[in-house]
Structure 1
Amino acid sequence: MDTTIALILLQDGILNGAIYALLGLALVLVFLVTRVIFIPQGEFVTFGALTLAFVVNGRMPGTVILLLIAGALVFLLELLSAWRSRSLAGMPRKFLVNIVIPVAVYFAAPAIVSSQLPLWVAVLFSLAVVIPLGPMVYRLVYQPIAEASVLVLLITSVAVHFALTGLGLVFFGPEGWRTPPFMEGEISLGAVSWSAQTFFVMGACVLLILALWGFFGKTLYGRALRATAVNRRGARLVGISTNMSGSLTFTLAAAIGALSGMLIAPVTTIYYDTGFLIGLKGFVAAIFGGLISYPATLFGALFLGVLEAFSSFWASAYKEVIVFTMVIPVLLWRSFGSKHVDDEE
């Protein structure tokens, strides 16, 4: 291996590591706030990438139908809850979010799909389709069992993963798709030419991480999520709704997943089940941080990306094994200094 090959592999590693970092941060966020190990995070990567691919290729994405179905189910659940509590407070807003907006997206979809609009318009439309699915999944699946044990929540996440993977096959089919790059061209740095798409992905990841930092540090809702992550019971005692925190957390996770899928779709062929493997690598990065540390997760993601790139050169048949085997020494190292902590402590 010469310097040129090493720099090319480093470029691929940093690109993959940036995506794993976003997914790892989303997994840490969801776990801290809701205690859910969000295995279906990868499915939002797939849904975001394939929705954009269908839109730019002039085809109706199946997630538009999924959004209608999920919205109707959530609204029926809210109606049942309102009937039991004999209170209609908040129902107009819930009707707007779960019925009006999905219906508006459904009727706007043919015009968006059939028009040769700029790529950024297709990206915004795809985000508008996929992101609302996050809080809807939380309301339908996780909110009713929010006080269950971590093990029950994990088993539920596995079930949701299989359900969303099956829906992905139904709505998108078994074919693989790619999307146009966000930026064309090459940028020469020394002996290696880096693609402009690589810099775009890294820049987008940095901006998104900074936006998350500003959200958690400077906004009221961000501080509410931080308080819920520190102590769920204490957050409830001071008037912070854990249901609101969970819904907002899943919205952020869906947004990060969908955007990550759109960033990698120009460089990787995306299938209906591709997101699981990508999300699993984000989970490995989150394990580096013990599912509590954002900086350690970021470091672990970049390390995994570089390790995967160099493993694909030296032992391509075993690169996945090498990446996932890294979980073992990390867990062993953390087990030596860990102690049992109850959920609410």
Structure 2
Amino acid sequence: MEIATEVRDVYTFSPGPCSLPLGVQRSCHNSLWNFEDLGYGSLEIPGNSYESKILVKKCKDNLRTLFELPDNYSVMLMEGGAHLLNSGIPLNMIPEGGSANYLVTGFWGARTHKESLKFGNIKLVHEIVPQMNYIPDEKDWQIDTKGSYFHFTDNETLSGLEFKQVPYAQGQNIVADMTSSLGTKKLETNKYAVIYAAAQKNLGIAGNTVAFVRNDLIGKPQKMTPSYMDWRNMVDENFDYNMGIYSIYATNTYVEYLNQAPGKLDYWENLANQKAKLIWDVIDGSRGFFKPLCTKRDQRSRLNITFYCANDEKIDNLFIEEAAKIGLIELKGHPATKGVRASIYNGTQLEGVKKLRDFMLDFQEKNEVRIVNTLSRL
């Protein structure tokens, strides 16, 4: 597979599942009929077969290569999306009667926090901002230094907030949900205790979850931890838990594709910055016609850009309808935020982002005139 510019009739800006490079799609499609030239398909492979074990090892090795993981971290491949780890993390990291710290900056952080309350004494380090449209200043955080870890969501897909550096957590083990950002930037892995991500944004398709866990944290689960959430089992090659092989194949294929880029993560980080700048420049130059949900420039997401058109829901809907007519789809904002949302992941084609930029400029020009004419008649 080559890293190539793709021109399509339809470009999807879905927040997940993501847009997949055509080469990755073809490989996944072909595997359905003939997996690794074995004569049968990837949907037919038993999870405990020799072939599946080879695939799992290959996927883990490719992830280690892409993220330059140190030897003292384990790579885990699991099902259940990030939701499963919302439970699995406190079950494996909080001892009986222990505590942990959670910073909530958006919809997914709130859901993660809610789940964690079942498994320990959870400290909310800052009150939740009502509109979830900015990240509270670190100086205002109140961290329980006796907690087992500090959890945060690196990029919030609804409100479009992104951490630009590792937060200061007063010596706590740092746990990051990177579902929408893992694979789009270089990481200082040794600053994290756990990094986890559902694969369907930048690392494959829905149904697979990737986690990097520091080895000293494995082996201390609460007694009630189910076998499927016990990290000791996740690193045990002999633990038979019948993984979904097709989703792992998709992740491995995508990661192989990401590894082929010159500079690997440097390439994808630069490309993510380039694509995001195309849209943010239009918003900033729109004289307020396009208004972002995120209120702080240095916290703007490169990956999920949520905005409103002329502060009018009808114009938001018109934008979404007209964009779809020219092949720009999945731009409708989440029901919790409404508005317009452009999700721009690794697989989102640069040509598609350029087409969206041009549409935004044209849409603003036409509708500013329409709004002025309407007001002049009042």
TM-score (norm 1): 0.29
Greater RCO structure (CA 8 Å; 6+ sep): 1
Higher strand share: 2
Of structures 1 and 2, the larger Rg is shown by 2
TM-score (normalizing by structure 2): 0.27
